[in-house]
Structures are given as C-alpha cells and as structure tokens.
A and B are shown apart, each in its own frame.
Chain A
Amino acid sequence: MTEAPAWQRHPVLLGVLAVTLALGLLFLAHFGWMVTTRLGAEPRVEDWMTPRHVVHAFGVPEAVIAPLLGTPPGPLPFASLRDLAAAQGKTPEALVAEVQAQVDMADGLSVEGGP
C-alpha cells in the first residue's frame, strides 16, 4: 500500500503553513518596499505632531512656529497640531500646511546658507 501524500495526512497543518508563508511573503514585500522607497524619503509634518516635536525633529526655530498656533506667549504647548487647529477653528490640513511651509522655508534657508 502506498503512503498518502503529506497534504492528505496533515491538511490543517499544511493549510496553516501555506497561509503563514503567504503572510510572511507579504510582510517581506512590504518591508522591501519601505526600505527601497520610503525610508530615504524626506519626512513631512503630520497632524499628530506637537509644536516642540516639529521644532526638534525638523530643526525649525520656536519663534517661527509659535505665531501659527494661536496660543498665548510662553512655552510651546504639549498638544497635537490637530487639537491646536481645532482650537483655532481651522482644519488640521490647513495648520499642517502652514507649519510645513515654515519647515520648507527654513530648509531652503539652511541649504542656501550652507557651505
């Protein structure tokens, strides 16, 4: 009598193995895509970021960001740009665009003034 093939003797295990391998390949493909296309891309301002985070991560002076936030003078608030936009009656996209413009301008200045 011939031995049954592996897929007939362990159908559940082989099914789980096939799904696991497919998932693993998907993760690997996404990892490869991230490394080759996204990891080197210039980071952008996002609405979850806080003003101090923007200052620290993008190297923009505090004095440039503060006037956009509509908050009283003093230390930058620990609040997301999303919440700060809502407090001013703006959309998060509008405030993010204003902050991004300042970041881009500061970037341009540092490139022009660079060695």
Chain B
Amino acid sequence: MTDTLLALVPQHGPLVLFLATFLSCLALPIPSSILMLAAGAFVASGDLAAATVVAAALGGALIGDQAGYGLGRVGGGGFWQRLLDSPRSGGIARRAGSALRRRVFPTVYFSRWLFSALGPYVNFAAGAARVGWPGFSIASLLGEATWVGLYVGLGFLFAARIETLGATVSSAIGALAAAVVALLLGRMIWRNRRKKAA
C-alpha cells in the first residue's frame, strides 16, 4: 500500500503530497509522513524542486487544519454543547475546553508534528470549543512548517533509508501520542476521584 502511494509521487508529483497532507489533517489514515520523506529524497536526487514540495505539503496541511477547525466550529458546536450539558461529561468537557483555550499555542503546535497522531482531533476540538481563530492559525502555520521541514529534510538527508526511517519515526510518534493520551486520561480519572472524595 505504501509502495503504491510512493510510486504515485513520480506519476503525479506534488499534487499527491498536497492531497495526502490535506486528507491526513482530516484523520484519514494516509501515510503522509513517509510521502514527505520520499519527496525529500526526490529533492535530493534532483527529481523535484524543494520549493514546490514544501509549498504543496504545507498548503495541503494548512488547508486541512482549517477544514478540521471549520468542521468543528460549524458541525461540532451541538456535540460540544451536549458534552457540556451532560452531568457525566460536563465537568471534564469544561476543563478540557478551558485548558485548550489557555494553552492553544503548545497544544496546536506540538500536535502538528511531535504528537501528530492527535492533530486532526485537536483541530476539531479547537473549532468545537470556539478557540480563537488567529491563535489557532498561527500555531498551525508554525507547527505544520516544522512538520514539513522536518520530514522533507530527513528524506533529503537519508534518501536511501526513507521506508525504514518512516516506519521507525511513525512508531515513536504513535508511542508518544499514546503516552500523552494515557497521561491526560489518568489525570482526569485522578482529579475526578479526588473531587468526589472531598
């Protein structure tokens, strides 16, 4: 599957990158990181121009982030309100919303590249919780620029090993994302327990 996608890059060029980063920002399981590594390798060999690769990958990711945020803002409001109104989830949803608003920059920035598995959900949650658009957009721009620069740069430097490198980095990011989610869940359970005990 990944090999087939990688073989599409020489066929369709940067358009594949644009679509991959756009769709992956909407939580579709597209291996966009390995496609960016391959694009970096094609830049190193002189097959593709660096500016075109970066523009396509960054453009797709930024539009994808805005689409996710917009979907959350338009379609997620009702869902978010139901969470807030529910006696079971109301407290947790209020705290999650206010934490996201207070720490919008680190949450959005790091979920673009370091915890990228969480990115699409952060987009939707930020829109649904009505996090300010300018703050979200600046963090999204800087985070996606880091993501694209990092992967295209790694592909450029390690052109012969991109598949192995991609699988290794994806596993590390998956483990990191799981650790962050586990920590947040553990904290929520712990706080609820202490609140009920008080």
Residues of A that sit less than 8 Å from B by CB: 3, 6, 9-10, 13-14, 16-17, 20-21, 23-24, 27-28, 30-31, 34-35, 38-39, 41, 43, 46-48, 50, 52-53, 55-58, 78-80, 82-83
Contacts and interface: CB of A to CB of B under 8 A. Distances in A.
B10 interface: yes
B186 A83 contact: no
B171 to A, nearest CB: 4
Contacts, number: 110
A31 B7 contact: no
28 contacts: A9-B193, A13-B188, A14-B189, A17-B189, A20-B178, A20-B185, A24-B174, A24-B182, A28-B175, A34-B167, A34-B168, A39-B164, A41-B164, A43-B160, A46-B3, A47-B3, A48-B4, A48-B9, A50-B42, A52-B46, A53-B45, A55-B45, A56-B45, A57-B159, A57-B160, A78-B47, A79-B10, A83-B7
B74 interface: no
A96 B64 CA distance: 36
B123 to A, nearest CB: 20
Given A53-B42, A83-B10, A13 B185 contact: yes
A29 B171 CA distance: 9
B51 interface: no
B131 interface: no
B3 A48 contact: yes
B42 A82 contact: no
B138 to A, nearest CB: 30
B195 to A, nearest CB: 11
Q: Give the 10 A-B CB pairs with smallest separation, nearest first.
A: A24-B178, A48-B6, A27-B174, A57-B160, A56-B45, A31-B171, A27-B175, A48-B7, A52-B45, A80-B7
B3 A24 contact: no
A72 to B, nearest CB: 18
B98 interface: no
B160 A48 contact: no
Contacts of B182: 17, 20-21, 24
Interface string B36-49: 00100110111110
Contacts of A35: 168
A105 B132 CA distance: 59
B160 A83 contact: no
Nearest to A37: B164
A83 B3 CA distance: 12
